Structure 1
Amino acid sequence: MTKAGNRTTPHRTGLRRSVGFLGSGLYVPDRVVTNAELARTLDTSDEWITARTGIRERRFLDDGLATSDMCLPAAREALRRTGIEAEDLDAIIVTTSTPDQPLPSTAVTVKDGLGARRAIPLDIAQTACAGGIYALLVAAHLLQGEMFERVLVIGADTGSRATDPTDRGTRVFFGDAAGAVVLGPVPAGFGVQSWDFGDELCFDVAIPAGGSRRPTTPETAEAGDHFVRMNGPSAWKYATEYLPASIQQTLDRAGLAVGDVDHFLLHQANLNIITHAMDSLGVSMDRAPTTVERFGNTAAASLFTVLHETLLAEPETGRLLVLAGIGAGVLWGSICFRHYAIPGGLLKGEAE
């Protein structure tokens, strides 16, 4: 155990069955919101946002649509690329901090929309921007059971609905997106190689009202307490300290070195955080692909945006990928995969 935060016990994987990526999908809304557009209503500028975040634009979901409306097209693309039907799915995991509504389940909504009759629907909530990492770990363990062969994991968030339109400290960061990946058995030696997870209770990034401690009232709504509140310096401290340490721990557990990794796929919160983490590991940024400039921080979808683009650009078998994320709570983690390209799958450059 380490003193800072709570960590899992060191191990390789303990998985009896190798689990990897079979296909991925991505959906981003059509509406592009530039820094210049935000600067018209906020005390900020394109230069200020770009210098501090690396974000140049983000996508906002149209009014009348919800998180599940992004999940469905992302899921359908992942299924198409995997070459399976929705009815072949054994489980659907949706991780989001912005569900369609408190009840019913967003995962059930997605299951119904896909027609995935046999799938067990699971919602992973309150893991925020770390949700993708947690959902992948849960999926890998579900696939150890004999009844599970195909698990669909979706990370999605509608951050534009969770931020105060008048708060430049949060509004400029978040965008809307959904990413999906199908996981299933792969040959021995491929798929999950190792992981590391940790947590430390902290309220510096939080939505103060709307739960059982502070139920929704006219007063909480008037105060804007249903929007995300973020302590920027605290978020920077946690991310720059724990992300590189978690990545290194994951590689140590797999018996790998930083130089063995083809791509580091980090939570796309802030370009400066990604750059700092790579500098800490001694890794050049050409091994850390990014989407944050175009999509902003898409929270639970974040990892899947960069994973999807990486798998399309370089789908070859044997690629070593490390995924890492951190979110409000504070929760963080990383997973190492050795990719196995499914024979007959879509190849680099193939049309949608």
Structure 2
Amino acid sequence: MSTATRTTRSASHTGTGPPGSFAVTGSGLHVPPTVVTNEDITRVTHRNGDWITSRTGIRERHRLAPELATSDMCLDAALPALDTAGLDARDLDAVIVASYTPDQPMPSTSVVVKAALGAPRAVALDMGHAACASGVHALLAAAHLLQNPSFNQVLVIGADCASRVIHPADRTAGVFFGDAAAAVVLSRIDGKGAGLLSYDIGSELSHAVQIPGGGSRRPLSTESLTAGEHYVSMDGRAVWDTATTLLPESMTNAIRQAGMTPADIDHYFLHQANLNILRAAQQALDIPPERMPITLDELGNTGSAGVFTALHRAVEGHRLRSGHTFVVSAIGAGFHWGSLVLRQP
């Protein structure tokens, strides 16, 4: 059982990780081949390309082909992750998919991915309630599953197809979001001192980012479709104010709970939302640039996949090494936010 304490912010819950150890043993990334540049976006939103780059740090983003769905991206990210981990899908004990853009309301996307992979024994779980922060929740759930001796190999996938829920002419959300999927394999190991060291998880009700239509409160109808209620609406100023406050606070809480300082952390894998938000977090914690990979310049805001794209970049470049500590941190609609401190054994 993990111990927990309340931080000064009542909406946040901070605690130490469970005692068992695990390692990141594989990672994979899938990016759709269709590229949408700032110049392409400008033709639709009438935003200046230089304005987009200066305000967001994004130069281009990718779009999934119309005949494909989120689960297709999940599969294409999962296969190389399993390959680098040296595993067959039949070895998996759990498949967790973090996504706010599932293939459909039912059946769950994790079951679709499990079937496509051929992982008959795997428990299938979906995490989408925290939007862009769902990847953090998925990792937290995986860390606790791996305390059970029946769970040895867990595949965690972050994937979002935001292009399906963004109005093409939206001058705010339209410039940010891209489609992608990234996956990691977590493997339980003997010993102590690795895996999840601490966490800080919080939430606070806000409708600043939302998809109002399609649920039980506003079911899809001709009227809701005409009103565009099935698309994302976003208050950019509210996102900025919340993210630049809560991300540094959450990371600080989690790092302190681990008995460490920001300087002790080898890598920071943050939600790739906006370059200026990332820079604000970097400045607040005095993080050296080389410790915080950036992927949004080429991929845009890929939602639940964002933290995993940054993690994949470090794994692929052989920069995540034995004994390294790393922070995974994100904020999503709701608002939900969270930070994990982990150590690679």
TM-score (normalizing by structure 1): 0.94
How far 1:263 sits from its partner (Å)? Answer: 1.4
Residue 149 (structure 2) aligned to one of 127, 146, 149? 146
For residues 277 and 93 of structure 2, what CA distance do their matches in structure 1 show? Answer: 36
Residue 38 (structure 1) aligned to one of 38, 41, 47? 41
How far 1:3 sits from its partner (Å)? Answer: 5.6
How far 1:191 sits from its partner (Å)? Answer: 1.8
CA shift digits 1:271-319 (9 cap, x unpaired): 0000001111122322211001000000001101000011121132112
CA shift digits 1:64-112 (9 cap, x unpaired): 1000010001011110010010001011011111001111111110001
For residues 316 and 280 of structure 1, what CA distance do their matches in structure 2 show? Answer: 25
Identity fraction in percent: 49
Q: Residue 200 of structure 2 aligns with which residue? A: 196
For residues 148 and 121 of structure 1, what CA distance do their matches in structure 2 show? Answer: 13
For residues 272 and 259 of structure 1, what CA distance do their matches in structure 2 show? Answer: 21
Q: Residue 82 of structure 2 aligns with which residue? A: 79
Q: Is 1:239 aligned with 2:237?
A: no
Q: Residue 318 of structure 1 aligns with which residue? A: 323
Q: Residue 327 of structure 1 aligns with which residue? A: 332
How far 1:145 sits from its partner (Å)? Answer: 1.0
How far 1:162 sits from its partner (Å)? Answer: 1.0
Residue 178 (structure 2) aligned to one of 175, 179, 187? 175
For residues 242 and 208 of structure 1, what CA distance do their matches in structure 2 show? Answer: 24
For residues 83 and 212 of structure 1, what CA distance do their matches in structure 2 show? Answer: 43
For residues 147 and 18 of structure 1, what CA distance do their matches in structure 2 show? Answer: 14
Question: Secondary structure in 2 aligned to 1:189?
Answer: coil
For residues 252 and 129 of structure 1, what CA distance do their matches in structure 2 show? Answer: 24
Checking the alignment, whether the CA contact within 8 Å between 2:323 and 2:344 is kept in structure 1 is: yes
How far 1:16 sits from its partner (Å)? Answer: 2.9
What amino acid sits opposite 1:331 in the alignment? H
CA shift digits 1:180-199 (9 cap, x unpaired): 11112134222211111111
CA shift digits 1:12-42 (9 cap, x unpaired): 22x1311231111110100111000111122
Question: Secondary structure in 2 aligned to 1:108?
Answer: helix
For residues 126 and 32 of structure 1, what CA distance do their matches in structure 2 show? Answer: 28
Q: Residue 3 of structure 2 aligns with which residue? A: none
Checking the alignment, whether the CA contact within 8 Å between 1:5 and 1:200 is kept in structure 2 is: no
Q: Residue 135 of structure 1 aligns with which residue? A: 138
Residue 336 (structure 1) aligned to one of 332, 338, 341? 341
What amino acid sits opposite 2:314 in the alignment? T
For residues 167 and 251 of structure 1, what CA distance do their matches in structure 2 show? Answer: 37
How far 1:5 sits from its partner (Å)? Answer: 4.7
How far 1:338 sits from its partner (Å)? Answer: 1.3
Q: Residue 345 of structure 1 aligns with which residue? A: none
What amino acid sits opposite 1:124 in the alignment? M
Q: Is 1:253 aligned with 2:253?
A: no
Q: Is 1:29 aligned with 2:32?
A: yes
Q: Residue 234 of structure 2 aligns with which residue? A: 230
Question: Secondary structure in 2 aligned to 1:168?
Answer: coil
Unaligned runs of at least 5 residues, structure 1: 341-352
CA shift digits 1:225-267 (9 cap, x unpaired): 1000000010011100010011111111111111111111110
Q: Is 1:47 aligned with 2:50?
A: yes
Question: Secondary structure in 1 aligned to 2:260?
Answer: coil
For residues 115 and 80 of structure 1, what CA distance do their matches in structure 2 show? Answer: 14
How far 1:2 sits from its partner (Å)? Answer: 4.4
Return structure 1 stretches of 4+ with deviation > 6 angstroms: none
For residues 231 and 23 of structure 2, what CA distance do their matches in structure 1 show? Answer: 36
Q: Residue 124 of structure 2 aligns with which residue? A: 121
CA shift digits 1:201-240 (9 cap, x unpaired): 1111000111000000111101111000000010011100
Checking the alignment, whether the CA contact within 8 Å between 2:62 and 2:179 is kept in structure 1 is: yes
For residues 50 and 324 of structure 1, what CA distance do their matches in structure 2 show? Answer: 23
Q: Is 1:12 aligned with 2:3?
A: no
Q: Is 1:218 aligned with 2:218?
A: no
Checking the alignment, whether the CA contact within 8 Å between 2:95 and 2:122 is kept in structure 1 is: yes
Checking the alignment, whether the CA contact within 8 Å between 2:151 and 2:188 is kept in structure 1 is: no
TM-score (normalizing by structure 2): 0.96
Checking the alignment, whether the CA contact within 8 Å between 1:20 and 1:337 is kept in structure 2 is: no
Question: Secondary structure in 1 aligned to 2:172?
Answer: helix
Q: What is the aligned-residue RMSD (CA, Å)?
A: 1.1
